[in-house]
Structure 1
Amino acid sequence: MKELVNKKIKVLMASTCLTVAVPAGHAVAQSYGEQSAKASTVDLIVVQARKRDESALEAPVVVSGVSRNVINERGLKGLTDIARVVPQLVIGDASSVSGGAISLRGITSGEQNHFNDQAVTFNFDGAVISRASVQRMALMDLEQVLVYKGPQALFFGKNAYAGVVDIQSANPTDEFEVGASLGYEFVGSEIRGEGYISGPLSDTVGARFAVYGSGLDGYFDNTAPDDPLVGPSDRDLPDHRELASRLTLTFDPSDRFDAVLKLNYQDVESAGTAAGQQLVSCPFGVSQVGGAVDGVGAPCRIDDKVERSDLGPNFKILDSDFGDVPYFEQQQFLGTLTANLEISDTLTLTSVSSIFDSYSEIMDNVNNATAAQFMVPSFQNLDVTEFSQELRLRTDFDSPVNFLLGGYYQHTDFDRVFKVAFRANAPIMLFNDSAKQKGDAYSVFAQATIDITDTLELAGGGRYSYEEKDFSIALAGVPAMTAVPKLDWDNFSPEATITWRPTANLTLFGSYKESFLSGGFNAGSGNLTLDRSFDEQTIKGWEGGVKSILLDGTLAFNVAAYTYDLDGLQILTQAGLDQFVTNAGAATVKGVEADFNWVTPIEGLSLLGAFTYNDAEYDEFVTTCYGGQTISLGCNLQPNGMGVFTAQDLSGSPLHRGPEVNFDGGFSFERSLSSRFVLGLNSNASYSSKYFADATLQPRSLQDEYWLVDAGVRLRDAENGIQIEFIGRNLGDEYYMVRAGDTIITGSGTGTSAGTLSDVNAVISRGRELWLRFSYSI
């Protein structure tokens, strides 16, 4: 079977990875260091979107990919960087212990809720992880990152509601290899180093060990005023340290059995998750909770400056978990074991086992106050353990009909402590609680593929899922009862696809898909004794596309269209200090994606481009009002017992974090200067149209359109394996926000005729990066 797949891939002789909606310069699985005018020097990306090896040309799935070489050449580290080069994928950090904000085609979930599953799942070397904390891991020594767009429930389960980010690390090599790189970034004073050693230990055992380390002084200037009580002590933020390692062992004793074990560990320390959070809009032009800066309150604008004070000595007198200086720390472990057994020439059994353990802890000021009397510090820790086991049986009959059958089990344990205080000069405790959630998920799935003719394939199947979750709480360390302590859900998600491959260089496909994301419990601030539950969300719809190779294998052109109906979206909202997930009614997401990749007649030159249009709109959506929103501004629904309105109707409005248009274009050029030296150049420009960064769609959370421009130049000594390169990222020094929200204890009069708008804060992206890097490999 493997030989047949490899033969097909070679026959395609394409110059690119052949994806639909591929960002320029990202999805090309090509070795730029080896590329010439011959298209045969460029490899195809092999995907496992259907749990089998297929070229991206063959797979009837909309997929964008980022190859190992592009990750290295563009200096991409972390999924936030990957999102910059994949249209309609939006990832940003958040001032929360749980991870960050993740959206695909405008579809997201309640990222600030510590117990919430993500609508975009991560498939890390076969382990399905729905925790946003994974996006904080450095993507070291990777083979490729693929993004499967649209629902993927059949093969990846309930968390693949909007799509899958498939992260594949490098495997051991057949021969001994060593590689290392060291880079320095001048703006943030950051140093990064990584390396690997790989090769066979015996005829049947291979090993690869990779390490990564980084230290960042900070790219934001902290302009908080000097204060004898609350500092600040750090003028450069975010101040970040990270160490990570990965051990990979392969065992291949026969033609019928092989196994891969991967063990990942990461340790992070930083100045706090709010170290990059800014006040971006204030109704009075300056902060309502700030101290004096040049005689006025802290300014409110998106730039390279933040205002972040220390917490002072008084909070730790109130509770020993608090301290003087904000911080964040995280340790994560991920282990996966994948084994394949060919029971016979026609039956292959695959087992994927994984364990994921993550501990995160933060102590930070959540409302950007620099005046002691307004400070709202929070201490949070979150301990997550997930175990999963999947078994799959695949047939390879000579008959036109084949099957894939499987079962999946996942157990999750969450343990969270949450404390919030107020006032650095005379502190009081606002919240002191803990919560636990345990979950068990079971599912079975099956797909049948029918070769109607040599060129026409029909595939159909579905996944049945059952999940239950238990929720328990304690207040100030004393166990308490919550109104709804247990819930369960069941769902059947069908999928049907028809694929026509009239030639080896052309694929047309159409699919109908459904998926769901189970509900859960809100573990944020608020009264945990009340009903803290929210329900499942579902999606169903159609997509189709054309994938092609033209001009004698030198041009790849792909286009896809989709339309999906969403129901019960899990949206994070905020009411005062309480942040919680609610179900948002119905929405429609539809659009078109296109890309091209052309290896030009000019030796060593490739041109790439991608365009996406995404129309994501709420059909029905009644949600909370934003801080200070008055009746005339639309806060005119659901009055409380005092006659104050609490909700607004956003039906017909766009989904937040869903830019309507994305564009990406660029080039890659490489030419030998001599028999020894090779010069490489690359540049890309990406565009995002405007989007709202807050679920309430408050106008001041609107992120304007922006461009990001990257470029790089490198010189390689092919004889000695040495390379020096200069990488410029975000050369236009653009700052943008992914998630925004009301600043706590600002604003007033929400739902009345005369209100005062709250300040708005957001975690801001990194600005310009200028890297000098040295690499060595043998």
Structure 2
Amino acid sequence: MNRSVFIGVLLAGAASAPSIALAQSATATSDEIVVSARKRDETLIAVPVIVSAVRGEELERRGITNLDGIARIVPQLVIGEGAGSRQGGGIVIRGVSGPDANNLSDQAVSVNIDGVQVAKGNVRRMSEVDLAQVEVLKGPQALFFGKNSPGGIISIRTNDPGTRLEVGGTLGFETEADEMRATGYVSTPLSETLGFRLAGIYSTMDGFFKDVSPAGMFKVADRSPDARSYALRGTMLWSPGDRFNARLKVNYGHMKQNGMTAATQYTDCPTGQRQSGTPGLSCNIGTDLITVAGYGPYLSTVGGTLNDFRADGRPHSSQSQILASLELSYDLSDQISLQSITGYYKTRFNSAQVIWPDPAIIPAASLALASEQISQELRLATDFQGAVNFYGGAFYVRSRDETSSYVWLFGGNLPSPFGTLTSPRQFLNILYGQRGTAWSGYGQISIKPTAAFELTAGGRYSYERKRLPVVRQGAGLGQLVLDSSREVATPFRSDSWKDFSAEVTAAYRPSSDLTIFASYKEGFLSGGFNTSNAPAVTDLRYRPQTIRGFEGGVKAALLDRTLLVNISAYDYRLTDLQVAGYIGIIATLNNAGRARTTGIEGEINYTTPLPGLRLNGALSYNNGRYTSFPGAACYAGQTPALGCTISGGAATQDLSGTQLPRAPKWAAATGFAYETPVGRDLALGFDGDLSYSSSYLSDPTSAPRGRQAAYTLLGGSVRLGAEDKRWQVALIGRNLTNRHVFQFTNEVPFTGGGTGTPAGTLSDRYGAVGRGRQLMLQFSAKFGN
């Protein structure tokens, strides 16, 4: 769709993209969305923060079951699986992200679930059931969410027990992937002061891709990804009096599927067909076809400390997660409150599969990642009637991580010295252990010289330390066991960083219907160690990433509060942006010199005069670019004419002025919701939504053929049920135009060549490709007294 035509239609329809934050009717004050972007309850209009929020009822109505779905309706939020990322892919806001391809690094956009902050992509799978509200805070968040988060925060609050018995659930059947999804909850008071809630989810899916691996190439399944998952959450809420309450939440989740590359597909073939492995085999770009071969039976017999290969040769991956939070809130007086949040998170991921989708060349990898963290946060807030108030606190987290890679190469036409089908060669056998501690303190003062004006100023001081007590490597068939004798004597096993991030905001609220604000903010992401490859280099360290800049906006309720408008602008500069990815099968991690993101965003929500009809939308323009990045790695086959030069034996390019990866210039979404009574005590509803993204680059080398083209996604639903929502039947469609979209791509090894020379030839590319069309029939019911 032509961009100018699309934007014209968007504005003419009085709806811009994802007005999630304003998705509910605003005709009455009681129906306004209340957010906790500053860790205190404020209406969406009043809070001087750029935030999008959506309630759990809205997620259910739109058929959104995970954070990946929310990314389709929040402009400049990109969430996607990475091809081979053990962190479960990356989370990007306005082009700002962390090095998710590095297994032990933190991400620049954190996820905060019920007060517990986790800077790993995998944790997003713990937020797929019984949600009360999701808030997406854009830009650096240094003060109120534990560790500094320079790209933004996705804050999730799950439902608490109520004061009466409630039972509910949904059952859905999706036709394109043969998916069944069931959710349920029960909530009940156990006494006048104690409540309990239990929620769960179970899903099974045969796969939305058809596997067309040739016969005899270790083909193991007809569909992919073949996935099973379940999760449970228990909540206890104790409120013995007006001044104290305690909330305990414990989550457990487990998922398994046929390998972490089960949705990996070729995304570009410059010659029109595959260059290696199985020459002549179709690349299947943009189709529902995929090649996900197994690795055969041999590798299960070779032994090794890290060996998780199966005798049947079937690719597999599994992950278990535990997330727990204990929140204690106590009002020391009518004006002073104290809060304690204790958090615990543990995850274990294991997999064995072919790394890239070619059944003739077998790069088989047995990979693992384990993480554990315990955190403690204390917060103090005042609510004096005078002009001055104070907010402050302290945060501490201790972490323990371990990652391992056990990789073999063999195939029918591999170049020497790699293995053959009958004589595989060990390529990688490494184990890293990392320990980390971080503590910080923050404070903010709020001054209101008049009832309409507020000035806040504060900052967070952070100290963080990481060390590598375990660095072990084996090579060759005789070194399969990684015990203490295989420890590598690498220097620089420990590093630490200090930072102070400031924040100043001025807000003007002449009425409850208008807020005008401007802010200066800073953010910080700690450095670390590149643990994705063998420790061939003497220094594995990379530097911290910092961000600073300005943002501001106007929020207004117009037309008797039926029209909610939010317009904002920002300008941020980043230093030492952490850029991670893959060149062939080698993981890279570099600090880009400098980058800058500038843009403008708008959201609207309109409750029309027609009863039951709401329109919503959002539109975003973002200019995210490297302002200085000399010495960046070239992409395979890049020639001197295309900007690649060889110096000191390394092929490098200057990416200064180049668009940041996963930073589309334009992003938008628009939608409507209509519900009307029909018959006796029945309601009929219709929803429609459209999201658009302009093109963006997908890898750290800024390879032009790794660019995701502009795309538009369509969705909608039809619902019939009781007016009181006791039961409902819905037909929900997503991505109705069946577009397969990718966020991250890599080069296919053994393709392309001559990098840095005039004779360079471009490589094929592959990546994790998103789900196509979805059609789900969903039944829901709820009961209570």
TM-score by length of 2: 0.92
Matches within 5 A, 1:217-296: 217-227=206-216, 230-291=217-278, 296=280
Matches within 5 A, 1:311-710: 311-319=295-303, 320-323=307-310, 324-371=313-360, 374-424=361-411, 425=421, 426-471=423-468, 472-476=470-474, 477=482, 478-527=486-535, 530-622=538-630, 623-640=632-649, 645-710=650-715
Q: Is the CA contact 1:473–1:528 (under 8 Å) kept in the aligned structure 2?
A: no
Using the alignment, how far apart are the partners of 2:269 and 2:302 within structure 1? Answer: 31
Q: Which residue of 2 aligns with 1:740?
A: 745
Once the two structures are superposed, residues 151-188 of structure 1 have per-residue CA deviations (whole angstroms, 9 ceiling, x without a partner) of 11122244411110001111111111100110000010
Please list every run of at least 4 consecutive aligned residues from structure 1 whose deviation after the TM superposition is greater than 6 angstroms: none
Q: Which residue of 2 aligns with 1:769?
A: 774
Q: Is the CA contact 2:19–2:74 (under 8 Å) kept in the aligned structure 1?
A: no
Deviates more, 1:102-111 or 1:69-78: 69-78
Once the two structures are superposed, residues 573-619 of structure 1 have per-residue CA deviations (whole angstroms, 9 ceiling, x without a partner) of 43443212210110110000011111000010011111100011110
Helix, strand or coil at the partner of 1:297: coil
**1:109 Cα offset (Å):** 1.6
The question of 1:757 aligning with 2:767 is answered: no
Using the alignment, how far apart are the partners of 1:719 and 1:164 within structure 2? Answer: 34
Matches within 5 A, 1:106-145: 106-145=95-134
Structure 1 residue identity aligned to 2:283 = P
Q: Which residue of 1 aligns with 2:8?
A: none
Q: Which residue of 1 aligns with 2:67?
A: 79
Change (3 A) 1:698 1:231: same
**1:523 Cα offset (Å):** 1.1
Using the alignment, how far apart are the partners of 2:183 and 2:583 within structure 1? Answer: 44
Change (3 A) 1:164 1:138: closer
Helix, strand or coil at the partner of 2:28: helix
Using the alignment, how far apart are the partners of 2:335 and 2:54 within structure 1? Answer: 33
Deviates more, 1:39-48 or 1:486-495: 39-48
Q: Is the CA contact 2:147–2:440 (under 8 Å) kept in the aligned structure 1?
A: no
**1:282 Cα offset (Å):** 1.8
Structure 2 residue identity aligned to 1:651 = S
Structure 1 residue identity aligned to 2:697 = F
Q: Which residue of 2 aligns with 1:197?
A: 186
Q: Is the CA contact 1:439–1:468 (under 8 Å) kept in the aligned structure 2?
A: yes
Using the alignment, how far apart are the partners of 2:582 and 2:671 within structure 1? Answer: 40
Q: Is the CA contact 1:290–1:298 (under 8 Å) kept in the aligned structure 2?
A: no
Q: Is the CA contact 1:232–1:310 (under 8 Å) kept in the aligned structure 2?
A: yes
Using the alignment, how far apart are the partners of 1:681 and 1:557 within structure 2? Answer: 24
Structure 2 residue identity aligned to 1:688 = S
Q: Which of 21, 46, 56 does residue 27 from structure 1 map onto? A: 21
Structure 2 residue identity aligned to 1:116 = S
Change (3 A) 1:491 1:587: same
**1:124 Cα offset (Å):** 0.7
**1:718 Cα offset (Å):** 3.6
Using the alignment, how far apart are the partners of 2:30 and 2:454 within structure 1? Answer: 28
Using the alignment, how far apart are the partners of 2:742 and 2:230 within structure 1? Answer: 27
Structure 2 residue identity aligned to 1:351 = S
Structure 1 residue identity aligned to 2:734 = R
**1:22 Cα offset (Å):** 8.6
Q: Which residue of 2 aligns with 1:304?
A: 288
Q: Is the CA contact 2:733–2:775 (under 8 Å) kept in the aligned structure 1?
A: yes
Q: Is the CA contact 1:23–1:64 (under 8 Å) kept in the aligned structure 2?
A: no
Deviates more, 1:44-53 or 1:496-505: 44-53
Using the alignment, how far apart are the partners of 1:767 and 1:687 within structure 2? Answer: 15
**1:630 Cα offset (Å):** 2.1
Deviates more, 1:477-486 or 1:413-422: 477-486
Change (3 A) 1:728 1:657: same
Percent of aligned positions with the same letter in both sequences? 39
**1:759 Cα offset (Å):** 1.2
Q: Which residue of 2 aligns with 1:10?
A: none
Structure 2 residue identity aligned to 1:596 = I
Deviates more, 1:508-517 or 1:38-47: 38-47
Using the alignment, how far apart are the partners of 1:555 and 1:91 within structure 2? Answer: 30
Q: Which residue of 1 aligns with 2:4?
A: none
Using the alignment, how far apart are the partners of 2:590 and 2:103 within structure 1? Answer: 14
Helix, strand or coil at the partner of 2:301: helix
Using the alignment, how far apart are the partners of 1:575 and 1:673 within structure 2? Answer: 59
Q: Is the CA contact 1:522–1:532 (under 8 Å) kept in the aligned structure 2?
A: yes
Change (3 A) 1:29 1:244: same
Helix, strand or coil at the partner of 1:254: coil
Using the alignment, how far apart are the partners of 1:330 and 1:470 within structure 2? Answer: 25
Using the alignment, how far apart are the partners of 2:639 and 2:113 within structure 1? Answer: 46
Q: Is the CA contact 1:100–1:135 (under 8 Å) kept in the aligned structure 2?
A: no
Deviates more, 1:610-619 or 1:519-528: 519-528
Using the alignment, how far apart are the partners of 1:582 and 1:42 within structure 2? Answer: 49
Q: Is the CA contact 2:270–2:763 (under 8 Å) kept in the aligned structure 1?
A: yes
Deviates more, 1:491-500 or 1:103-112: 103-112
Change (3 A) 1:103 1:719: closer
Using the alignment, how far apart are the partners of 1:24 and 1:506 within structure 2? Answer: 21
For structure 2, which runs of at least 5 residues remain unmatched after alignment? 1-14, 412-420, 475-481
**1:637 Cα offset (Å):** 5.0
Matches within 5 A, 1:62-73: 62-73=50-61
Deviates more, 1:279-288 or 1:39-48: 39-48
Helix, strand or coil at the partner of 2:642: coil
Structure 2 residue identity aligned to 1:128 = Q
For structure 1, which runs of at least 5 residues remain unmatched after alignment? 1-20
* Count of aligned residue pairs for this structure pair: 741
Deviates more, 1:63-72 or 1:234-243: 63-72
TM-score by length of 1: 0.93
Structure 2 residue identity aligned to 1:298 = S
**1:679 Cα offset (Å):** 0.6
Using the alignment, how far apart are the partners of 2:22 and 2:673 within structure 1? Answer: 10
**1:26 Cα offset (Å):** 2.7
Q: Is the CA contact 2:146–2:377 (under 8 Å) kept in the aligned structure 1?
A: no
Q: Which residue of 2 aligns with 1:45?
A: 33
Q: Is the CA contact 1:158–1:518 (under 8 Å) kept in the aligned structure 2?
A: no
Change (3 A) 1:494 1:248: same
Once the two structures are superposed, residues 489-539 of structure 1 have per-residue CA deviations (whole angstroms, 9 ceiling, x without a partner) of 000000000000001100000000001100001111233562111000100
Using the alignment, how far apart are the partners of 2:666 and 2:210 within structure 1? Answer: 32
Helix, strand or coil at the partner of 1:569: strand
Q: Which residue of 1 aligns with 2:196?
A: 207
Q: Which of 164, 175, 180 does residue 169 from structure 2 map onto? A: 180
